[in-house]
Amino acid sequence: MKALAARRHHRAAPVVLLLLALLVTGGVYAVLAPSPATADTASTADIETGKKLFQANCATCHGPNAEGTSEAPSLVGVGAAAVDFQVSTGRMPMQMNGPQAQEKPRQMNEEQTAALAAYVASLGPGPSIPTEEQVDASKGDPASGAALFWTNCAMCHNAVGAGGALSEGKWAPELHDVSERNIYNAMVSGPQSMPVFNDANITPEEKRDIIAYIVEQRDGSAGGLTLGSLGPVSEGIWTWVVGMVLLIGAAVWIGAKSS
């Protein structure tokens, strides 16, 4: 340990460590990454179509070979999951600059998205799109999912996934309408402000548990109208808007002279 500590300050140490880390990361991915569903089956033809689509729609910002520009990040190594998430939710191609890319009607159909994903996946190893099995909420355990969700997700997305604010005009979107596949895609690819939750941090089974918890929330609340599931502020507003308006209205009626 001592010898290691002494060498830690060697000039080459950072480089060696970085190489080591990269090697280990790559290795871990090779072992842990789920069998890439799309990438495997992607034919060369798909990749070619994807490349054409990329150059027509994405290259302006991301560079002709997806190497990134000052406008937009490199896409080498972001994987098929990132493309599937960004393009299928309409966030990409982006239409206008803002604090963050906004969800909008998707501009590319299922095949085009798959081709783009295949192309980007071919540029470097990255997280791939989950299988049906991996996002099947009925196979997940909502209790384990709830604990993980509350620890890792609730601070931004709210305890039941109703969304929340980030700094400087950014926000964490609400999750009720997000497809199971895109919830998974987002966790492995870490779109925009969202951090990455790789399979060592949250295993694929745990990701499915989280999806099961989110899906369970779609049943609504046992107590009645959810009032947006936003917590005490919306409850306070409804106290005044419904409770106090009704009660003061009743008081006015009681106090008014009958004609």
Partner 1 sequence: MSTTINSPAEPTTPAGKAADFLDQRTKIGVLTKQLVRKVFPDHWSFMLGEIALFSFVVLLLTGFFLTMFFEPSMELTEYHGEHPAQLHGQLMSVAFASTVEMSWEVRGGLLMRQMHHWAALVFLASMVVHMMRVFFTGAFRKPRELNWLVGTSLLILGLGAGFTGYSLPDDVLSGNGLRITDGVVKSIPVIGSYMSYFIFGGEFPGEHIIPRLFTLHILLIPALILALIGVHLFLMVLNKHTQYPGGGRTDKNVVGVPAVPVFATKMVGNFFIIFGVLALMGGTMAINNVWNYGPYDPSLVSAGAQPDWYMLFLEGSLRLMPGQGTEWVIAGYTLSLNVLIPAVVIPGMLFTFLFVYPFLEAKVTGDHREHHVLDRPRNRPVRTALGVAFLTAFIILAVAGSNDLLATHFVMSLNAITWALRILFFVGPVLAFWITKRICLGLQRKDRELVLHGHETGRIVRFANGEYIEVHRPVDEQERWLRVNYEAYRPLEIAPATDARGVRRKGYRSDRRWQRISRFFYEDRVEPVTPAELAAAHAHGEHDEIEAQRGTPELVSGSASGEREH
Partner 2 sequence: MSENVNPTPSRDVTAAGTHGTVTHPDRFTDPGVPEHNPRLTDRDPKAAKRAERTVVLLFGVSILGSIATLVAYFLVRPDGTTEGVRLSNVLLGTAMAISLLAIGIAAVHWAKTLMSDRDYIEERHESRSSDEVRAVAAAGFKDGYEDSGLARRGVLKGAVFSALGLVALPIAVPLVSSVGGDWNVGKFRHTMWRSGMRLAYDPTGRPIKAADLTVGSVAHVIPDVPAEERETHEWITEKSKAVVLLVRLNPEDLKADQSPEGETWSYDGIVAYSKICTHVGCPVALYEQQTHHLLCPCHQSTFDMADGAKVVFGPANRPLPQLPITVDDEGYLVAQSDFKEPVGPSYWERLK
Binding site for partner 1 (CB under 8 A): 99, 142-143, 145-147, 150-151, 154-160, 162-169, 171-172, 213, 216-217, 221-227, 229-240, 242-244, 246-248, 250-257
Q: Are 125 and 39 in contact (CB under 8 A)?
A: no
Pull the structure tokens for residue 135. Answer: 């996002």
Please identify which residue in 43, 95, 151, 179 interacts with partner 2, judged by CB under 8 A.
151
By beta-carbon proximity to partner 1, the closer residue of 130 and 161 is 161
- Given partner 1, partner 2, none, residue 247, with its beta carbon under 5 to 8 Å by kind, binds partner 1
Q: Does 224 bind partner 2 (CB under 8 A)?
A: yes
Which candidate, 31, 43, 25, 127, places its Cα nearest to that of 83?
127
Shortest CA distance to 136 belongs to which of 100, 181, 94, 176? 181
Q: In angstroms, give the least distance from the CB of 82 to partner 2.
A: 11
Task: Tell me how far apart the alpha carbons of residues 172 and 165 are, in angstroms, rounded to a whole number.
Answer: 6
Taking the C-alpha atoms of residue 108 and residue 188, their distance in angstroms, rounded to an integer, is 22
171: left (phi over 0), alpha (psi -120 to 50) or beta: beta
| Residue 214 backbone zone (phi > 0: left; psi -120 to 50: alpha; other: beta) | alpha
| Dihedrals phi, psi of 172, to nearest 5 degrees | -100, 120
What is the per-residue binding string for partner 2 in 105-144, x denoting contact by CB under 8 A?
Answer: ----------------------------------------
Using the rule CB under 8 A, give the single segment among 15-23, 56-64, 83-91, 132-140 that binds partner 2: 15-23
198 is a site residue for partner 2 (CB under 8 A):
yes
Q: Which two tokens stand for residue 45?
A: 């033809």
From CA 188, how far away is CA 129, in angstroms rounded? 9
Least separation in angstroms between residue 115's CB and partner 2 is 26
Q: Which does 227 bind (CB under 5 to 8 A by kind): partner 2, partner 1, none?
A: partner 1
- In the list partner 1, partner 2, none, the entry touching 105 (Cβ below 5 to 8 angstroms by class) is none
Which partner, partner 2, partner 1, none, binds residue 198 by CB below 5 to 8 Å per kind?
partner 2
